[in-house]
Amino acid sequence: MARTAGRSLELLSLLQTVNRWSGPALAARLGVSLRTLRRDIDTLRDLGYPVHASGGRDSTYHLGAGNTLPPLILDGEQAVAISLALQTSPTTVLGLRDAADRALNTLTQVMPAPLRAQVDATRVTTIHNYWEFSALPINPDILNTVGDAVRRGHFLRFDVLRPDSTRPAPRDPDFVPPLRVEPHHLVLWAGRWYLVAYNPAARAWAIYRVDRMHPHTPTGIPFTRRELPAHSVASFVMTSHERGDIPGAWQCLGKATLTLPADLVARFAPGGSVIEYIDPDHTRLTLGAWSWAGIAGILATFDTDITDVEPADLRAACHRLAQRFTLGHVSQ
């Protein structure tokens, strides 16, 4: 009886982790015959778990969703994974930190003692790093609206806000008429939320900062999904210089022109930087740090010619670093 119950729990865990299993694969994973597997499937159904089968000699199985689905069963690795994910989740959404803490407390309260001990052993303290360039937390309602349009494949209409989240008036020079785009991917990168979308009016792909979007009422109008102009959404976002970014809030902020293409600079510039395309071989980079020497050091990592360095404090810091290296003032 104990072996049967343990096998049922293992079967339930497997059905929760893969969308669809073949009967032979499940039986082999559990080390049982196909007949025993079918009995265990019937046991789960009797307990209220909606296990669906494709039918036929080579049946496949998957766990359906529904209001009658009993509580999820987690093994030790799954429980620890969820615990660490909740504790280290980025605070890029308003209220997410408190919600994550409540979810973890709820999870641990219903765990058996051995599983709770495993989770408690992985309690961690997260510390903010000064090189994290996260934007201000975003409103979850905006994230839900944009994400729902992506999921449904519906056109999205929105106003473009200023960096301070205010809406410009129609006569303001930075006013942009409401946009109507095909939303394809919602992306979190370097502590910022981006929407990868196709703009039919401009006949071009674009990347928009979600924290600078004011969505309109859902359109409910579907569109046909297109192929990205890159092999992956990650490479498209990381190598695009037009992402609606603004400089991070640093005590020192400088600019320089690099003899490198914009897509290369965009890929390796730290979060919170602004990349401006000049021509195929030159890029204007705006970035910050807690010292002028810090900015100079970041610029040096690109290992290329640098011109038009601003302001004077940054130029002086570059000269000081060059002088130190020239004189050999480097600890052995």
Tell me: the pLDDT tens digits for 227-277?
999 989 998 998 898 888 888 778 899 999 999 999 999 999 987 789 999
| pLDDT of res. 284 | 97
**Domain residue limits, the chain:** 2-63, 76-120, 140-238, 252-327
Which residues have CB under 8 Å from 182's CB, separation 6+? 155, 156, 197, 198, 199, 200, 223, 225, 226
Which amino acid is located at 230 in the chain?
A
Global pTM value: 0.69
SS3 (DSSP) at 292: helix
Listed range (9-23, 62-76, 210-224) with the worst mean pLDDT: 62-76
Token pair recorded at residue 171: 């006569």
Tell me: the pLDDT tens digits for 19-49?
788 888 888 888 888 888 888 888 888 877 7
pLDDT range class, residue 87, cuts 50, 70, 90? confident
Question: Which has more confidence, 316 or 133?
Answer: 316
* Mean pLDDT of the region 41-63: 80
Q: Which one of 2.60.120, 2.30.30, 2.60.40, 3.90.79 gives the CATH number of domain 140-238?
A: 2.30.30
Q: Which one of 3.40.50.300, 3.30.70.250, 3.40.50.20, 1.10.645.10 gives the CATH number of domain 252-327?
A: 3.30.70.250
For residue 198, what are the β-bridge partners?
A: 182, 205
Q: How far apart are CA 66 and CA 94, in angstroms?
A: 29
